[in-house]
Amino acid sequence: MDLFSFIQTPEHDELLQLRQQLEEANYRYYVLSQPTLSDREFDDKMRRLQELEAQHPEWDDPASPTHHVGSDLSAKNGFRQMAHRYPMLSLANTYSEQEIQDWYERVCRELGQDTASGNTGVEIVCELKYDGLSIALWYENGVLTHALTRGDGTRGDDVIQNIKTIPSVPWQVDKQTLEIRGEVLLPWTSFDKINHEREAQEEPLFANPRNAASGTLKLQDPKVVAARGLDIYLYYVLGEDLPGNTHYERLQYARECGFPVSDAIRVCRNIGEIMAFINYWGTARRDLPVATDGIVLKVNSLAQQQTLGYTAKTPRWAIAYKFPAERQLTRLRKITYQVGRTGVITPVANLDPIQLSGTVVQRATLHNEDFIRSLDLHEGDDVWVEKGGEIIPKIVAVEPRQTESGMPTEEFRFPDVCPECGTPLVRDPEQAAWRCPNETGCPPQLKGRIEHFVSRKAMNIEGLGVETIDLFFEKGLLRDIADIYRLRVEDIMRLDGFQQRSAQNIIDGIEASKQVPWSRVLFALGIRMVGETTAKKLARVFPSVDRLAAASSEQLVATEDVGPLIAEGIRAWFDNEDNLLIVQRLKEAGLCLQADEDAAAVQSDLLQGRSIVISGTFVHHSRDEYKDLIAAHGGKNTGSVSKKTSFILAGDNMGPEKRRKAEELGVELITEDQFLQMIAQ
């Protein structure tokens, strides 16, 4: 059996898939601040990968996620990158109190101490694990000179101007040269305020305070950063000739210097004291003004830390215990149903109010009929609700409630008619969703399409928010998207709350939307499954609404990323006479329903027939912009490396799996500058 056939096993495929998933999760967590995995899911995948690599050392790879920390470095963010004086490693994680005891006993053994007596001579400092963004502050002769993010553990972004907006960070301390590390946080009150503002602007909500803090710290304008209200807790001091021989003494010194150090710290001398600290803060943390997700345990003696040393990515003298995702038991009072702009019916759980992760929760999504049946859910059941740091609460388990007669509660039945317009529902054969087919008469669908049409990434019409659209719809001024272009100042001024200026601002916004390019107009039309990216690709292949309306299903499917279902949805939309009438009215209103000639002129066939993979981060353009450039010059964007890949457009922090695969197959790597020079020809 040759080596290649030996490697192609289910376990090896699982290993490669885990590496790819973890690299992608790291990129989304650290760089994009858009996590796709919970901490528990990430850690479970990491442990499984470690198991596979231990079982098969011949498959080890220095570039594996098990050998390095996640990186928040981004070449395009404009910050100066600097090397850390001391490696900024991550901590080993556990969710098990038994594993905490095992770690403590292992530390004691390696230090030659006996745990049987209960007094080992090994002190452990227990601290709260704040859920924010790691930072290293450098002070030269007492003056703050740099503030580095974790980056990739060896290099970080210097965000000193943004750090200086945090009131509790001292710009100058005693004439000491030191490095102090900590966590940049966004308090719950600031987090809620930011998300309310983003919701009003129809921007994606931050999933949790950690992501909001990360996104804020990487902003280019310190004034915006200052307005968001970041906070910081510092917890680790490094440097030469500092007072104290223990971690705890160093923290007390930092506090005396004026650094913001948490009061929630305890020196523990045995496993019982450690567990008491963990159990106390497992409940008490809910009353804190900032997010916490666990407890950090560190060997107190600096000499003992030195003896224990480090692994490739974690210190052996420290470990993080992660609290279980917070959950509460409450009662499901009623299931109600929302109708989306495409007619999809979404069930919503209405709950007795509970406190979760700093907020009051009264509603949770139930996704669809299949999800409800998988839980065997009934109105009146007691349900476990989990938030786990995310915005949207979810029901994770059910404890059935018995009626007074001892019989189970009434069996769940999904409605068979639309809760808004009474039209019989239809089940989408390809999905688990029920839909209302009354596209032209169901009010939530009509209003939802208008809301989508005016949104920021579509036509971006300011002044037409959800409440205004509801009012205009109620008063008969709007029934479809084309009605927007018939609005007049005098019509709006007849309504309560509108004066000349506010009415004129809306009309000005409507007029400005006539300059929006064809690809965004296509996205704004709200055709099912035609998102922003798909609309761009369709607009290139079909440079006018007439060309798209006349396209056959076969022509549509030939477009990149357009499958049979999307093609069917497009054909159904243009086969509808009401939609064709709307398109004609939009034409008469002067909207841009064909590609700009100048934009078409820059397209070429330079990359015709070439399949290109993009990997890493870039300086001159975003990944999406490079995808547009590739498509504009006839190339095909692909997500994975194969024998058919023509080359990889390789930026900073290129994924190690893609690099390994490219080397294995002999696929060429092209830098950002080389690519731009190539298409400039």
Q: Which amino acid is at 366?
A: L
Residues 6+ apart with CB under 8 A from 595: 517, 518, 519, 539, 540, 543, 544
Q: Which amino acid is at 150?
A: R
Residue 521 · residue 459 · CB < 8 Å: yes
Tell me which residue of 91, 219, 103 sits closest to 153, measured CA to CA: 91
CA distance 162 to 185: 13
- Report the relative pairing of strands 345-356 and 359-365 from DSSP bridges: antiparallel
What's the N-to-C CA distance of the chain in angstroms? 48
- Which residues sit opposite 392 in a β-bridge? none
Question: What is the 3-state secondary structure of 179-234?
Answer: EEEEEEECCHHHHHHHHHHHHHCCCCCCCCHHHHHHHHHCCCCHHHHHHHCCEEEE
CA dihedral of residues 252, 253, 254, 260 (deg, nearest 10): 40
Residue 182 · residue 137 · CB < 8 Å: yes
Reported as type and span, the H/E element at residue 397 is strand 394-399
Sign of CA dihedral 519, 523, 528, 531: positive
CA distance 248 to 260: 14
Long-range contacts, 596-602 (Cβ 8 Å, 24+): 596/517, 596/518, 599/517, 600/543, 602/632
Q: Report DSSP state, residue 423.
A: P
Q: Which residue of the set 129, 387, 394, 447 is catalytic?
A: 129
Tell me which residue of 390, 450, 371 sits closest to 202, measured CA to CA: 450
Tell me which residue of 507, 502, 504 sits closest to 484, measured CA to CA: 507
* Tokens at 317, concatenated: 């003298």
Q: Does residue 129 carry a catalytic annotation? A: yes
| Phi, psi angle pair for 480, to nearest 5° | -145, 175
Q: Report DSSP state, residue 51.
A: H
Integer CA distances (angstroms), 435 to 75, 162, 168, 431, in order: 44, 47, 53, 10
CA distance 398 to 335: 14
CA distance 75 to 77: 6
Task: Enumerate the active-site residues.
Answer: 129
